[in-house]
Amino acid sequence: MNQTKDTITQQNLTRGLQIALKHPRLISGAVKRAGIWRSSQDYDDFLQEAYLAFAQAYVNYAGDPEADDGFKAYAFRHIVWRLIDLLRRNRYRQGDVLPDLNLIGGKATDEAELDILLSLQQVAFSGNELDQLVIRDHFLKGYPLSVIAYRQQVTPRALRQHRAALRRQLAEILNYQS
């Protein structure tokens, strides 16, 4: 049963890619709407991802994609959302100013890790309650910000802003060069 479902999904995905090849204007328009221009060095990668997103939209669509007029609008939105999500992930990865702190349950063995821990301690004592919370529960214990936000009744966005400010502060203290 599961094997036939996978086969059907794969056939639908293949059919979705075939139909995507018939709609290059829709796909390139969605890429453009997401803010990715032809002059971008990653344009081809995002265009390829857009074709895959179109095929995935074809598979996920509730009605008959070939008969329903609303499918093109659905596919367009799906592509734009997927590409914007990828852009956000890329920006987040590039904006990471400090190395990952893999200290959960372990002890710092490297001199650089000790410097980071001492800097964290220095910032924690000089910061406000939210800064201390982010340092203790997120940086050191490794809890996700969403869990911390739920427990403390603050928005995840506020915690992300505090985390970004703390990372900048720590990068300045450590004179960290990426």
CATH number attached to the domain at 111-174? 1.10.10
pLDDT tens for the chain, residues 1 to 178: 566 777 777 888 899 999 999 999 999 999 999 999 899 888 999 999 999 999 999 999 988 888 888 999 999 999 999 999 998 887 766 654 444 444 434 454 566 666 677 776 776 677 778 877 887 788 777 888 888 888 889 888 888 888 888 888 877 777 765 4
pLDDT of residue 166: 82
pLDDT of residue 104: 39
pLDDT of residue 142: 80
Q: Closest Cα to residue 56, out of 88, 23, 19?
A: 19
Say if pTM beats, i.e. exceeds, 0.95: no
